[in-house]
Structures are given as C-alpha cells and as structure tokens.
Amino acid sequence: MARLIGGVGSSHVPAIGNALEQGLQTDPYWKPFFDGYKPVWNWMEDKKPDVAILVYNDHGLNFFLDTMPTFAIGAAAEYQNADEGWGLKPLDPFQGDPEFSWHLIDSLVHDEFDITMCQEMLVDHGFTVPMSLMWPNQDTRDQVKVIPLCVNVVQYPFPTAQRCLKLGEAIGKAVASFDKDLDVVILGTGGLSHQLDGERAGHTNREFDTEFLEKLKDEPEWLLKYSNYELAKIVGPQGVEMIMWLIMRGALGGNIRELSRNYHIPISNTAAGVILFENDAV
C-alpha cells in the first residue's frame, strides 16, 4: 500500500523562482533562506519519494475571481507550467499520476469533501517554486510524480483552518488505502505572514509565525482558534495561506518527528519558512 513518509511546509514566493534562475543561492540576501532547505534536499535525496501531493493556491492562472473552487485536485497525466506575470521562465512539464489522483478524489468525496476535479491543469509559481526548492536538480525532480491540490485563499470566503486540518486527515486516510506500493510526500505551501498591498503593505509578524511553527507538530489545533478574518489582521491577508500547512500536517497523523526548521525575514516583503516532518509510523 502507499505510505505517507513525510511532509514539508514551505513558502512559495515568486521571487524565490527568480533567485533560483539567477543562481543567487549564496547571495547574502538569499543565503540564510536557501541554507534552511539543505536538510530538505538531503532528506529528499535519501528517501526518493515516488509521488508528491503539493498543496498550494492558484494565482489567476487556472482560476480567477469569477470562478474559484474551494478545493481542486489535478487528475492529469501531465501539468504544464506557465508564467502568470512574474517573469519566471516556464519549467518543463510535471508528470502526474491519474490513477492515484482519482483514488484520492474518490476517497475525499466519500468523506464528504466537495472536490473540483481537473483533468487539465496549468501550474503557476505557487506550485513550481516549492518543486524547485524541494528538488533543485531537474533530473531528480522529473522522477517525482505530482498531484496538485489547489486551495482557495484568494477570494473570500476561504475554507476554515479546521476544514483544512480535516482535509489533511482525510488525505492521510486516502493515501493509506491506495493499494500500490508508493512512497508519498505531502507539501503544504504558502505564507508565512505577509501583506502585499494597502496601508500595511510589507506587514509581517515574526512572533506569531514563530509560535505557529513551534505548535505545528504537537498542537496544530492551536491555529483553529483564529478565524480567517482574525488571521488576516494578525498576519496579513496573504499570510492566511498558512492554513494550507495544516493540510500537510493533518495528513501525517500523530506519530511524526520534526527534522528541521528555518525562519527568515524578509524575502520579497514576506516572512519565509520551511519545516520538515518525517512520519515514524511507516
């Protein structure tokens, strides 16, 4: 059966993609950020997962304000990348796993999650930046099949933090019920605190971000006490993306270890973080 071997929470700021393209990993501005990913690179190289479920939000490439599904899962054999306006060089197509995707969709619908099924899907920087961060080498990245899971954190109303945590739990159940021999990793992306526009443009909240990271392993329910409206005030409207990390955390269950964590501020006016969990139950 399939095994969920671990999970990563990661920022997906488009400027990271430009830094990767320009080879700025050792630049003084970027080095503290990229150094935080070295344990993740080593872990991915050691574990060699077969499939990555990547939780992110679309930035207008597939969905816009007039049509915004709460949860959408890709069920395609291939996912093309296109630039949605940040000047990022499109990456090679990503290989999907339709059989596994349809299994996840079927299981989640039977667990009463209303999933939008996408048999064609473009992926933007919210997806490609984390893929490049997890697997900097193109050859290694090509060996990992992907399942995009797109969450609406763009157009209100958003799903609640509790709904995201429960979706993660349902994903963990769905992975465990798939009868193929696969090692699966789940990536929760976005955030951390940031506000891109308005009078508070550039707002970040180190104290809240740090507590969120400290609580994520053993007390992910800590975030549930805040409504999305409250979170928007505390971490900025775009900082609400951190609820997508709860999907990753919920999928992993209770028997996990935290292997590494890094927090760096700012990256393109965003508080950026990465955290790596390994599932001890497999």
Q: What per-residue confidence (pLDDT) applies to 198?
A: 85
Q: What is the pLDDT of residue 149?
A: 98
Assess whether 264 carries a catalytic annotation: no
Structural domains of the chain in order of their starting residue, each with its CATH number: 3-267 (3.40.830.10)
Tens of pLDDT, residue by residue over 43-101, are 999 999 999 999 999 988 888 888 899 999 999 999 999 877 777 788 889 999 999 99
* 125: annotated active-site residue: yes
Segments in the chain below pLDDT 70: none
Contact predicate 152/57, CB 8 Å: yes
pLDDT in the model for residue 267: 85
Taking the C-alpha atoms of residue 264 and residue 274, their distance in angstroms, rounded to an integer, is: 9
Selected catalytic residue, list 59, 194, 203, 264? 194
Q: What is the pLDDT of residue 88?
A: 78
Catalytically annotated residue among 59, 125, 203, 264: 125
Whether residue 59 contacts residue 189, with contact meaning beta carbons closer than 8 Å, is answered with no
